[in-house]
Amino acid sequence: MTDFLLILISTVLVNNFVLVQFLGLCPFMGVSNKLETAMGMSLATTFVLTLSSVCSYLVYTYLLIPFELDYLKTISFILVIAVVVQFTEMVVKKTSPLLHKVLGIFLPLITTNCAVLGVALLNIKKQNGFMESIFYGFGGAVGFSLALILFSAIRERIAVADVPTPFRGAAIGMITAGLMSLAFMGFTGLVKF
């Protein structure tokens, strides 16, 4: 049990995918203009990330390894992720047409979120087991959501600030992300692995 808790703390705070490992920066910059959209995106990404992390683990362990095809892992993970995203889109469209409309293009774009592929590949590299893969994916997604939601709340405030013209928009967003990353450095050493 402690192991799983440590994995969660590690992926959410210490090795946050966005702020420490710099994965998934495109949705981090792209969907963070409004808090409400960021929350929807976080939910969708959490779902996809956890599910794809498990699916890719299963595909790798029970399909690629027995047939000695592990050199195909990147391409097969991309396929798995695309399927999971398509599935999520169908579910969201059926259950919450409003959320589907708000998320728009960003929902299919989760496919290209490098954090999703990153988690799948890191699971293999770290030789995580089945349960560990679930927690690693879920923790990574929670960390992503945390960073995205806090960032979008800050961006709503910066949007009305008197930022010098050359720094408006994405530029000040990048600087803010850097400063957030600096603040997250404080967590280094909480979990040692």
Partner 1 sequence: MALIRITSPHVHKPASTADIMRLVILATLPGVLAMTFFFGWGTLINILWAAFLALAFEAACIKARKRPLYFYLKDNSAVLTAVLIALALPPFAPWWLTMVAVFVAIVIAKQLYGGIGQNPFNPAMIAYALVLISFPVEMTRWTAPFMLHGEGWNVLGFIDTLQLIFGGWSEHADAFTSATPLDEMRHRGGLTTEEAWRASDVLANVGAWHAVSAAYVMGGIFLLYKKIFSWHTPAAMLLSLGAIATFFYLIAPDSYADPFFHLTVGGTMLGAFFIATDPVSSATSNKGKIWFGIGIGSLIYIIRTWGNYPDAVAFSILLMNLAAPFIDQYTQPRTYGHKAPKRGIKEKA
- Given the complex with partner 1, which of 124 and 149 has the nearer CB atom? 149
| 86: contact with partner 1 by CB under 8 A | no
Segment contacting partner 1 by CB under 8 A, of 25-33, 60-68, 84-92, 182-190: 182-190
| 150: contact with partner 1 by CB under 8 A | yes
Contact 139, 8 (CB under 8 A): yes
| 189: contact with partner 1 by CB under 8 A | yes
Kindly identify the residues of this chain, within the stretch 44-83, that bind partner 1 according to CB under 8 A.
none
| 190: contact with partner 1 by CB under 8 A | yes
Contact 120, 74 (CB under 8 A): no
Kindly identify the residues of this chain, within the stretch 127-146, that bind partner 1 according to CB under 8 A.
none
| 105: contact with partner 1 by CB under 8 A | no
- Given the complex with partner 1, which of 3 and 36 has the nearer CB atom? 36
Chain residues binding partner 1 by CB under 8 A are 35-37, 39-40, 98-99, 102, 149-151, 153-154, 156-158, 161-164, 167, 172, 175-176, 179-180, 182-190
